[in-house]
Amino acid sequence: MKNSLSQRAIIRLTQYHTILRDYSKKGIKNITSSSISKLLEIDETQVRKDVKSINCKGKCKVGYNVVELKDIIENVLDYKVVKKAFVIGAGNLGTALSKYSKFNDYGLEICALFDIDKTKIGQKIDNKDILDLKDIKKYIETSGINIAILTTPNKVAQEVAEFIVNAGVKYIWNFAPTILNLPEGVHVWHENLIGSFLQFCAIENIS
């Protein structure tokens, strides 16, 4: 079902899941579409449409069962299916992402980091090895992992991306502040942190 959902719908469902997870921890059993829409500042009709699209039914004046809706979203978005990945770039951002334990709750397991800095290679971050980037092809062939989280500086991002794609990477979650130009068949998600901040400033009229 995930493949039939739009990118925006998937993003909204992940936001619903965050709310549901918090409600579940607090022991709250039910949640209404109105409550979700107010928290996210979106149309209540859109919430109901999204929930209906994943075959979850609520009750009039009661809403949705928190645990049930949370589980359905997890199944639809494959939270239970572990996706293994590695980080390219053991700098501040790469280190922070590697230490973020909550990724495991969403099915993402970071297994290693790669860098070219000889002073970092051979060390560990949160029990994950920092390996030499030149050895990445052998690592991919041995591990079967082809998902990379790119956190390199902007000036080398394209070059490094081409290198890891030639080594066998098929999926890239790109945190480098640049748009990558890669061959067809390579799937890239650009995580634009600066762009998100500027959108926030514009919407909230922050000057």
SS (H, E, C) 135-194: HHHHHHHHHCCCEEEECCCHHHHHHHHHHHHHHCCCEEEECCCCCCCCCCCCEEEECCHH
Return the pLDDT at 80. 85
Those residues whose C-beta lies under 8 Å from the C-beta of residue 49, and which sit 6 or more positions away, are: none
Give, as one character, the DSSP assignment of residue 46. Answer: H
Return the pLDDT at 205. 78
> E strand or H helix at 120, and its extent?
none
Q: Is residue 159 part of a domain?
A: yes
Query: In 86-151, which residue ranges form alpha helices assigned H by DSSP?
Result: 92-99, 136-143
If asked whether residues 94 and 134 sit together in one domain, one would say: yes
Give, as one character, the DSSP assignment of residue 132. Answer: E
If asked whether residues 62 and 108 sit together in one domain, one would say: no
Is 158 exposed, middle or buried (CB count within 10 Å of its CB: 0-12, 13-18, 19+)? middle
Rounded to the nearest 10 degrees, how much is the dihedral formed by the CA atoms of 18, 22, 25, 30? -100
Q: What percent of the chain clears pLDDT 90, i.e. is strictly above it?
A: 83
Single out the residue in 51, 76, 101 at which a domain terminates.
76
User: Which pair of tokens denotes residue 178?
Assistant: 């640049």
Return the pLDDT at 3. 64
Instruction: Convert the pLDDT of each residue in 59-109 to its tens digit.
Output: 888 999 999 999 999 999 998 899 999 999 999 999 999 999 989 988 999
Classify 130 as helix, strand or coil: strand
Is it the case that residue 200 has pLDDT exceeding 90?
Answer: no
As for how many domains the chain has, the answer is: 2
If asked whether residues 90 and 190 sit together in one domain, one would say: yes
* Between 104 and 207, the higher pLDDT residue: 104
| E runs forming strands in 11-57 | 30-31
Euclidean distance between CA atoms 121 and 34, whole angstroms = 51
Return the pLDDT at 12. 96
Q: Read off the amino acid at residue 83.
A: K
Single out the residue in 76, 107, 137 at which a domain terminates.
76
What's the domain range around 184?
Answer: 83-195
Is it the case that residue 1 has pLDDT exceeding 80?
Answer: no
Q: What percent of the chain clears pLDDT 70, i.e. is strictly above it?
A: 98
Label residue 120 by pLDDT band (50, 70, 90).
Answer: very high
How much is the pTM? 0.86
Instruction: Convert the pLDDT of each residue in 155-181 to its tens digit.
Output: 999 999 999 999 999 999 999 999 999
Q: Read off the amino acid at residue 103.
A: F
Return the pLDDT at 174. 97
Euclidean distance between CA atoms 167 and 180, whole angstroms = 16
Single out the residue in 52, 76, 100 at which a domain terminates.
76
